[in-house]
Structure 1
Amino acid sequence: MLNLSGISKSFIGVQALSGINLDVRAGEIHALVGENGAGKSTTIKIVAGVYKPDAGQMEFEGKPVQWARPADAKNAGIHVIYQEFVLFPHLTVAENIYLGHERRNRFGFVDHARTRQDASDLLRRLGVDIDPQILVSELTVADQQMVEISKALVHKVKLLILDEPTAVISGREADLLFARLAALKAEGVAILYVSHRLEEIFQIADRVTVFKDGAHVATKDIGDVTRDRLISMMVGRDLKDIFPPKKPKGEPGKVVLKAENVSVEGRVRNAGIEVRAGEITALAGLVGAGRTELAMGIFGGLPMSSGNVWIDGEKVDTITPATAISKGVGFVTEDRKGQGLAMFLDVAANISAANLSAVTRNGLIDRRLENEIARKEIDNYRVVCRGPATSVATMSGGNQQKVIVARWARTSRKVLILDEPTRGVDVGAKTEIYRIMRGLAGEGIAILMISSELPEVVGMSDRVIVMREGAISGELTGANISEEAIMSLATQHPTGKVPIDKVFAQ
């Protein structure tokens, strides 16, 4: 279906692709993997007609092609679902799905009833129940992903490209996506699947291609490669142990964050947690379990309808983000581009953003001091950039995440809440972020980590608190932390904490 031969592309002296090769067959799911900066996104944009290659040849359906514009690729049957959604929040679900392809009556006017019905039928094919009349702005991120996929199904798709499609979904939604991809594969659709989640690659892919530093490393049948070998090809070195050693078992640290009977209207019910100094505590559960909402309630980002919060032993009567920050609590959001970073500012400004008073002199920001601090943190967190003046918008996801962690670690000396800390970053950057997290815990900071990746939860956590449908369903520690035990708690009825012996008795 698609064949790329010797494709090269550079941007202002930076070589993004160096003679890469890639072929995707009809009726297969072909995974494309590599670290951030490996050339995956550039390749996708060449196939989609966004960029023109400097050298090499692209063939589609056996014929040489070079798209003049993205519309040409789409008209040929190529559809890309990017990691950053292309949705209009103030239009309805149906209007978004059929934008530019509106259903019309015999007089040429938009047939809204038919548009809604057809949108409902498409969503039903995906196995999701979304009201086609609701505004996209009112949907969860997972449901927005399903709307993006529905847009692709409007067209006669021959090649479907998905860029990190499960970065914002997991559990049932991911299973539904995989089932739909399997159905499209059976219909002869070629699927190019880009993901950092290696467990997904082995679950659904037929073949896998590895890129590194803009070059083609290898293409393998999925049955001919192991996870360790795949990682080794991606990062150029063996990663025998991705996760740093856990804290040796000993006396538990001091409780520095405590919450009791926390409820967030419609999202969290009577939840209580404790987070201890020097420990990494994970909040686990399926998408929609209320993990982020509980953390946001404790931090003051969402209003609590009931509950009490203590920080370092002191009860906080009215919790707000400003209060939490002033008491040494930081929050690294899962949406680093939309909520975490000031994308139009440089590294130095982003690092100092949470504590401007530290770099302010006589009412003005001291840029020399700000840059000095940034240089120190760039070295400390091994941020790959040209220096403090680098725009964060030009950096890889992993390095952007390091900048956010550096910002909050400077001011949050009690508790650091990390919501999906490695979402959308490559395995090499994940290893660096894990090292940073364990180092911060070693300094006595209490870390509350929210993660949808079970290997990450098991590999990083000293303690795991599991949620289901807005309630705490159980807690795991030490050797009892396993993927099976977490899933058991995440899928059972939430009747309060469950003793460990009952978890394994099920």
Structure 2
Amino acid sequence: MVAAPPVVEATGVTKRYGSTVALHDAAITIEQGQTHALVGRNGAGKSTLVSVLTGLQAPDEGTITFGGEPAPRLTDRDAWRQRVACVYQKSTILPELTVAENLFLNRHDHGRSGLISWRTVRTKARELLDTWSVDVDVRLPAGELDVEQRQFVEIARALSFGARFIILDEPTAQLDAAAIARLFSRITELQRQGVTFLFISHHLQEVYEICDVVTVFRDARHVLTAAVDSLPRADLVAAMTGEAATETGTGRRTPAEHAAPVLEMTDAALPGAYEDVSFQVRAGEIVGLAGAASSGRIEIAETIAGLRAPATGSLEIAGTRPRPGSVPAALRAGVGFVPQDRHHQGYVAQMSIADNGTLTIPDRLGRAGFIDGRRRDGFARDMIGKLAIKTPGPELPVSGLSGGNQQKVVMARALANNPKLLVLINPTAGVDVRSKEFLLGKVEEVAESGAGVVIASDELDDLRLCDRVLVVFGGRVVAEMPRGWHDHRLVAAMEGVELDD
């Protein structure tokens, strides 16, 4: 029996942008029915490979085949859509249009009058979603869908063109644990129906949970392809970084028990988000808020940062009580903040690194409301050095940086006012392994300097830094775990599951 050709095969792919080599003699082979992981640090060439595999760019050298046949011409977009689709981390769904309109955008059926038959469009949309078991009301504006629903709609839209090869680019970055489990279940179902996936993720645990094969890119080159179940995790990290895996968070001193509190939250409640929350953070202490995205941990962290005002209770930061729900008041009290979503909350994309990094300290850059450009740029250069931001200079727009370097700019802004309390939400989401290690190391430095730190996350690697972890479930703190907790117990508490001793 003759084996089926690979769903997609890239061989000897090289792509240059001026003097920059984005891909060098890169290769990947994805077989029918696989869920194939593509991993690597930011700048490894993953995004460039995706743009080549989806026909957005032509390689300077090398070949791409689908099912053994050469890739279509770049101008034949319909032919590309029939072969491959990508569901990006940033949704391509148009929020102002309904689900049905998004599914059949520019493919609407017209009646005899030449006008669009919306009844027919909605009927076809329902049939499409039913075929792929997507439970979404096709009449809803897409802007009302949550992240998980938008992803399923995008997958269904891709399948409607005939594509049976789907690229998932960081699909879990904004999902909680329950939604991730549902996504993985859906991937498994679609695999059984003949759909093949390329799964791009910075979360190596997910690679081991859902993927059959993993390919590693480093420095624009292919360095490894292996079966997931035969590749030790330390070897995978070593392939990604070019060196042996290292542990994060070891060797830091435990903060003194008599250290003054820099945060005291007492009996705080916000209807629909959290209730009866009380805890302290001491100077030099790192405290984790663990829980799913819907647990209330994010809202608690945003309350501390002044983005939300609690309905009841009190909040004291470094001996002062800032006005509830006021970001400027929180800044004056000594809070530094890294928000959940850097793309929408963390930076202004077209503004420079210098402007983004100094947004919180205009009073230190000039007098009477005027900013001294030289002073700002000098501060920015110091920030670029301290956070190892890869950039030709402080004038570069943040949109021109990789994800890991964008997050470093957001961190730099949080540290610009020398905070007494640093609050971080999912601080390593969507960044590569090396950037994750660097950012978490910087958090440790902040704590060593005497500031308090709150990390609200469901990423275990983020939480390993913590001196203790408060588990939030259903809007309440349900457990406190000291350093040295076991993964299975923390995850069980986050999911509201009790384990027998």
- TM-score under structure 2 length normalisation: 0.92
Give 1:463's aligned amino acid: R
Deviations 1:346-375 (A, max 9, x none): 111111111111112454211111111111
Cα-to-partner distance string for 1:41-69 (whole Å, 9 max, x where unaligned): 00001111111111111111111124314
Alpha-carbon RMSD across the aligned residues, in angstroms, is 2.4
User: d(CA) in 1 for partners of 2:259 and 2:76?
Assistant: 56
2:495 aligned residue (488, 491, 496): 491
User: Residue 113 of structure 1: CA displacement?
Assistant: 5.1
The one-letter amino acid paired with 2:92 is V
Give the conservation status (yes or no) of the 8 Å contact 2:254–2:467. Answer: no
Contact 1:49/1:73 (8 A) holds in 2: no
Q: 2:228 corresponds to which letter in structure 1? A: I
Among residues 15, 18, 24, which one is paired with 2:21 in the alignment?
Answer: 15
Q: Which residue of 2 aligns with 1:382?
A: 388
Residues 13/317 of structure 1: CA separation in 2 closer, same or farther (3 Å cut): closer
Secondary structure in 2 aligned to 1:383? coil
Q: Report what 2:182 is aligned to.
A: 176
8 Å contact from structure 1 (residues 3, 24) kept in 2: yes
1:469 corresponds in structure 2 to 474
Using the TM superposition, give the Cα deviation of residue 283 of structure 1 relative to its aligned residue in structure 2, in angstroms. 1.0
Note if contact 1:247-1:279 (Cα within 8 Å) is conserved in structure 2.
no
How many residues are treated as equivalent by the alignment? 495
CA positional deviation for 1:76: 2.6
Matches of 2:186 and 2:383, distance apart in 1: 44
Partners of 1:77 and 1:158 within 8 A in 2 = yes
| 1:289 alignment partner in structure 2 | 295
Matching residue's letter, 2:399: A
* Deviations 1:393-414, CA, capped at 9 Å, x for gaps: 1111111111111111121521
Q: Of 401, 417, 422, which aligns to 2:423?
A: 417
Partner of 1:498: none
What SS does the aligned partner of 2:396 have? Answer: coil
Partner of 1:500: none
Percent identity, aligned pairs only, is 33
Q: Which of 348, 352, 359 is the equivalent residue of 1:346?
A: 352
What's the CA shift string for 1:71-123, capped at 9, x where partnerless? 24543321101111112122233332333344667876545456556656666
Amino acid of the structure 2 residue aligned with 1:484 = H
Corresponding residue number in structure 2 for 1:220? 226
1:469 partner amino acid: G
* 8 Å Cα contact 1:102-1:110 kept in structure 2: yes
* Residues 411-420 or 42-51, more deviating: 411-420
**Which string of whole-angstrom CA distances, capped at 9 and with x for unpartnered residues, describes residues 181-219 of structure 1?**
112222222211111110111111111111111111111
CA–CA separation in structure 1 for the residues paired with 2:133 and 2:334:
44
Identify which range, 241-250 or 434-443, moves more after superposition: 241-250
Cross-structure match for 2:213: 207
Cα pair 2:40 2:432 within 8 Å, conserved: yes
Cα distance change of structure 1 residues 251 and 152 upon mapping to structure 2, 3 Å threshold = same
Alignment of 1:392-431 (within 5 A): 392-431=398-437
Q: Which residue of 1 aligns with 2:4?
A: none
Partner SS state of residue 353, structure 1: coil
Equivalent residue for 1:443, pick from 434, 445, 449: 449
- 1:191 aligned residue: 197
Structure 1 segments, 4+ long, off by >6 Å, are 103-108, 124-128
CA distance 1:289–1:116, change in 2 (3 Å): farther
Please list every run of 5 or more consecutive structure 2 residues that lacks an aligned counterpart in the other structure. Answer: 1-6
Contact kept, 8 Å, 1:418 with 1:450, in 2: the verdict is yes
1:265 counterpart residue number: 271
Q: SS of 1:411's equivalent?
A: coil
Q: Which amino acid aligns with 1:38?
A: A
Residues 1:122 and 1:177: Cα distance change in structure 2 (over 3 Å): farther
Task: Describe how 1:48-87 pairs up with structure 2 within 5 A.
Answer: 48-69=54-75, 71-87=77-93
Which of 244, 247, 259 is equivalent to 1:241?
A: 247
Question: Contact 2:347–2:410 (CA<8 Å) still a contact in 1?
Answer: yes
Secondary structure of 1:354's counterpart equals coil
**Structure 1 residues 30, 372: CA separation in 2 closer, same or farther (over 3 Å shift)?**
same
Equivalences for residues 143-154 of structure 1 within 5 A: 143-154=149-160
Distance (whole Å) between structure 2 residues aligned to residue 390 and residue 214 of structure 1: 22
- Alignment partners' CA distance in 2, 1:118 and 1:250: 64
C-alpha distance in structure 2 between counterparts of 1:194 and 1:309, whole Å: 40
For the residue of structure 1 that corresponds to 2:24, the secondary structure is strand
Go from structure 1 to structure 2 and tell me whether the alpha carbon gap of 1:114 and 1:456 turns closer, same or farther (over 3 Å shift): farther
Amino acid at match of 1:461: C
Secondary structure at the residue paired with 2:360? helix
Once the 2 structures are TM-superposed, how far is the Cα of residue 158 of structure 1 from its aligned partner? 1.8
